[in-house]
Structure 1
Amino acid sequence: MHWPEYFPPDCPPNDAKEPHDRVYRLIQQDAATADDFLTVRQLYPNRQFPDSEKECRSCALSVLLQEMMSRLTAELVGLKI
């Protein structure tokens, strides 16, 4: 797999697998924009992280699988999928 150049070394781990599931991202407006899919690393490129694990996590994007999304939609108000 090809990862963005801004990812730190060894991120993601060598055993990372390409996802094949449908995933959902919570947003605050009716329609998603490209900005809804920016990582913490992209939003704050000069931010320093205390260790490489946290820096690697800053390159990730939080998403939900269908089963978790079904549970949360019953609880959350004001967010769109």
Structure 2
Amino acid sequence: MEWFEVLPEQCPPSDAKQCEGCYYRIANGNPATTEDFFSQKKLQPDIIFRGLGIDECVTRAVSLFSEKGEAERRLKLPKFKKANIALVTLEPKDGMIKKTFGIAHYSWWRTKNFNVSQAKIV
């Protein structure tokens, strides 16, 4: 696979699965743009992210939610005050995904094949 971002070795992790299904992403754009699907590392390259389960691989993943309600809860945070929720339908060509952090949070390693225009603001 040709990854959208440069990934460290052993990334995505061996227990990640091929993408398939519908997920929700917090997006600033309406419509969503490719910048709405950047990892934290790409958005803030000089920050060192710390916390349980956070490593270099996870910081280069895009956060998705399997439940719309979990994404809606994040909209209450000040940094997402003017954000939207985008529904994305992922296929195997779009990369690898792994259940991480919390009830409905997933980490997605995006390929260059992902078509941003299919993301729909809901």
Distance 1:44 1:80, change over 3 A: closer
1:25 alignment counterpart: 25
Of stretches 27-36 and 16-25 in structure 1, the one that deviates more from structure 2 is: 27-36
Query: How many positions carry a matched residue from both structures?
Result: 75
Query: Could you say which structure has the higher helix fraction?
Result: 1
Tell which structure's C-alpha radius of gyration is larger.
1
TM alignment of 1:2-81, pairs within 5 A? 2=1, 4=3, 6-48=6-48, 53-65=54-66, 68-69=67-68, 71-72=69-70, 76=75, 79-81=83-85
Query: Could you say which structure has the higher strand fraction?
Result: 2
- After TM superposition, the score normalised by the length of structure 1 is 0.66
Structure 1 residues without counterparts, runs of 5 or longer = none
Identical pairs, percent = 31
- After TM superposition, the score normalised by the length of structure 2 is 0.48
Question: Relative CO higher for 1 or 2, CA cutoff 8 Å, sep ≥ 6?
Answer: 1
